[in-house]
């Protein structure tokens, strides 16, 4: 039904004078459960269908959206009308289907047919496993599970006709451990497009361990030395760096990598790839939000900047083709540039060590398991100064938990100073990183 409706939208747009037209139709079924003290704290359930029309007329952009399937002609006319007030832009245009779609597994019938009671039980399991893991877990700030099923259809006047179904599920919790008048927080998260990939029990256990290991934390002396970033923290820094890999950021002069293509920008031990074709991963899908096939792209190889991420508009500005990285926040917005699945990996296996191997290298430093204020890091200059919690390490041994520490510097320098890489790569949402051992970092208290 969505395909027929989308085709009709494009047809009406062309009949009303559009030079090019695109219809994006999305149906979403969402269920989120939050529990507290083994009782339901909140349930949010929704089914939404919406669509948008994007047109180009006389090199001017028109856009409109609606949730009413009966208003298709009105919605089209609003888009045509909007184009009359837009500035002409020679780079506007819609993509054409250029190759065969790749297959990627992103739909799980088990999630699509999940009952509300089953979803509630998964959320309860998160909280229960956290409390059972350690008796010092006294409070569960939040334990939640989310499930969604989506049907997306993208049709345009250049023969793109893409329709796919996808699912997703996630589990997360924030817990508090208490002992001797002290309290510490711990969290964990897992997400996938397939239910069997998630361990709701493990999310609770990991959050409990993270909170409990910080009890008894002490202040440390300011120093400059090693920092071992947990894979969750390394993923946070990678998320900030990802903004600079967007061609949109480059073209607006808001990228750390502007003008540096072909240069060594990170440590030569590192590769960064964007891949929308990993089965079951949250960023995976057969096409991007303009209907362009997704693919695997090497953005940084051996530390050298090779490529940026493009949607159709940013690619046309440079006479290039889209890399399949158009993303929308939903049917209410225009496509921007974004990642599919962004992965940081070692350029060679010789740079990988186990957690114990990483510890042995550290004569003095901090294993950072959590940061505070990461949102204050500047993605344009790369400067950061964030609060850090973790474990103080001396002569290769964990000495005690550390509190009220601050790590600061520049994100590019951070990734240039990577010494060795952990063997524990893990996805947090659609970003994946292993633990990273970094030298010569300012640690203050």
CATH number of the CATH domain containing 95: 3.30.2290.10
- Paired with 53 in beta bridges are 23, 64
Same domain, 97 and 49: yes
Closest C-alpha among 250, 252, 244 to residue 274: 244
Range of the domain at 196: 2-212
Residues in Cβ contact with 185 at an 8 Å cutoff, skipping those fewer than 6 apart: 141, 174, 175, 176, 177, 211, 214, 370
Please say which residue of 212, 234, 257 terminates a domain: 212
Quick one: three-class SS letters along the chain? Answer: CHHHHHHHHHHHHHHCCCCEEEEEEEEEEEEEEEEECCEEEEEEEEEEEEEEEEEEECCEEEEEEECCHHHHHHHHHHHHHHHCCCCCCCCCCCCCCCCCCCCCCCCCHHHHCCCHHHHHHHHHHHHHHHHHHCCCEEEEEEEEEEEEEEEEEEEECCCCEEEEEEEEEEEEEEEEEEECCEEEEEEEEEEECCHHHCCHHHHHHHHHHHHHCCCCCECCCCEEEEEEECHHHHHHHHHHHHHHHEHHHHHCCCCCCCCCCCCECCCCCEEEEEECCCCCCCCCCCECCCCCECCEEEEEECCEECCCECCHHHHHHCCCCCCCCEECCCCCCCCEECCCCEEEEECCHHHEECHHHHHHHCCEEEEEEEEECHHHCCCCCCEEEEEEEEEEEECCEEEEEEEEEEEEEEHHHHHHCEEEEECCCEEECCEEECCEEEEEEEEEC
Same domain, 200 and 247: no
Same domain, 268 and 181: no
Please say which residue of 163, 183, 212 terminates a domain: 212
Same domain, 182 and 233: no
Same domain, 125 and 244: no
Task: Please report the pLDDT score of residue 444 as a whole number.
Answer: 87
Same domain, 40 and 180: yes
Same domain, 111 and 151: yes
Same domain, 309 and 336: yes
| Six token digits for residue 422 | 């952990």
Domain count, the chain: 2
Q: State the Cα–Cα distance between residues 241 and 342, nearest whole angstrom.
A: 11
Task: Please report the pLDDT score of residue 101 as a whole number.
Answer: 76
Q: State the Cα–Cα distance between residues 396 and 379, nearest whole angstrom.
A: 33
Position 217 in a domain: no
Q: State the Cα–Cα distance between residues 409 and 386, nearest whole angstrom.
A: 9
Position 218 in a domain: no
| Six token digits for residue 306 | 């090779």
Closest C-alpha among 92, 68, 207, 197 to residue 140: 207
Task: Please report the pLDDT score of residue 393 as a whole number.
Answer: 95
How far CA 338 is from CA of 23, 288, 324, 329, in Å, comes to 20, 10, 9, 10
Whose structure tokens read 């120093």? Answer: 223
Please say which residue of 184, 212, 240 terminates a domain: 212
Same domain, 348 and 257: yes
Count CB atoms within 10 A of the CB of residue 189.
17
Same domain, 194 and 334: no
Task: Please report the pLDDT score of residue 99 as a whole number.
Answer: 66
Same domain, 203 and 227: no
Same domain, 293 and 204: no
pLDDT tens for the chain, residues 1 to 445: 689 999 999 999 999 999 999 999 999 999 999 999 889 999 999 999 999 999 999 999 999 999 999 999 999 999 999 999 999 999 999 999 766 778 899 999 999 999 999 999 999 999 999 999 999 999 998 899 999 999 999 999 999 999 999 999 999 999 999 999 999 999 999 999 999 999 999 999 999 999 999 999 999 989 899 999 999 999 999 999 999 999 999 999 999 999 999 999 999 999 999 999 999 999 999 999 999 999 999 999 999 999 999 999 999 999 999 999 999 999 999 999 999 999 999 999 999 999 999 999 999 999 999 999 999 999 999 999 999 999 999 999 999 999 989 999 999 999 999 999 999 999 999 999 999 999 999 898 7
């Amino acid at each position: 039904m969505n395909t027929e409706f989308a085709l009709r939208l494009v047809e009406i747009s062309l009949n009303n004078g559009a030079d090019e037209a695109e219809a994006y139709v999305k149906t979403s079924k969402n269920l989120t459960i939050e529990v507290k003290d083994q009782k339901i704290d909140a349930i949010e359930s929704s089914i939404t269908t919406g669509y948008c029309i994007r047109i180009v007329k006389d090199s001017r952009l028109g856009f409109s959206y609606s949730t009413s399937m009966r208003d298709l002609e009105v919605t089209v006319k609003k888009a045509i009308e909007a184009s009359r007030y837009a500035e002409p832009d020679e780079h506007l245009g819609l993509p054409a289907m250029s190759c065969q779609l790749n297959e990627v597994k992103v739909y799980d019938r088990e999630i699509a047919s999940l009952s509300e009671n089953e979803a509630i039980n998964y959320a309860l399991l998160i909280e229960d496993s956290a409390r059972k893991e350690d008796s010092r877990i006294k409070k569960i700030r939040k334990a939640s599970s989310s499930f969604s099923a989506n049907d997306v259809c993208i049709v345009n006047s250049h023969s793109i006709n893409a329709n796919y179904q996808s699912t997703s599920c996630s589990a997360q919790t924030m817990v508090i451990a208490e002992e001797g008048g002290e309290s510490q927080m711990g969290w964990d998260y897992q997400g996938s497009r397939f239910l069997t990939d998630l361990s709701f029990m493990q999310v609770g256990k990991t959050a409990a361990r993270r909170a409990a290991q910080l009890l008894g934390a002490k202040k440390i002396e300011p120093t400059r030395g090693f920092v071992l970033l947990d894979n969750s923290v390394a993923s946070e820094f990678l998320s900030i760096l990802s903004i600079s890999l967007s061609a949109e950021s480059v073209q607006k002069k808001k990228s750390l990598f502007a003008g540096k293509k072909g240069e060594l920008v990170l440590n030569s031990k590192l590769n960064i790839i964007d891949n929308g074709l990993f089965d079951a991963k949250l960023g995976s899908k057969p096409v991007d939000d303009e209907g362009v096939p997704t693919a695997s792209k090497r953005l940084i190889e051996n530390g050298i900047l090779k490529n940026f991420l493009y949607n159709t508009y940013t690619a046309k500005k440079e006479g290039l083709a889209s890399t399949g990285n158009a993303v929308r926040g939903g049917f209410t917005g225009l496509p921007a540039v974004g990642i599919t699945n962004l992965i940081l990996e070692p350029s060679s296996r010789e740079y990988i060590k186990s957690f114990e191997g990483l510890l042995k290298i550290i004569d003095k430093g901090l294993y950072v398991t959590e940061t505070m204020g990461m949102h204050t890091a500047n993605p344009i200059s790369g400067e950061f100064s964030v609060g850090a919690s973790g474990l103080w390490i001396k002569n290769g041994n964990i000495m005690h938990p550390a509190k009220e520490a601050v790590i600061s510097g520049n994100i590019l320098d951070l990734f240039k100073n990577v010494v060795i890489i952990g063997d524990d790569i893990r996805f947090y949402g659609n970003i994946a990183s292993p633990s990273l051992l970094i030298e010569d970092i300012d640690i203050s208290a």
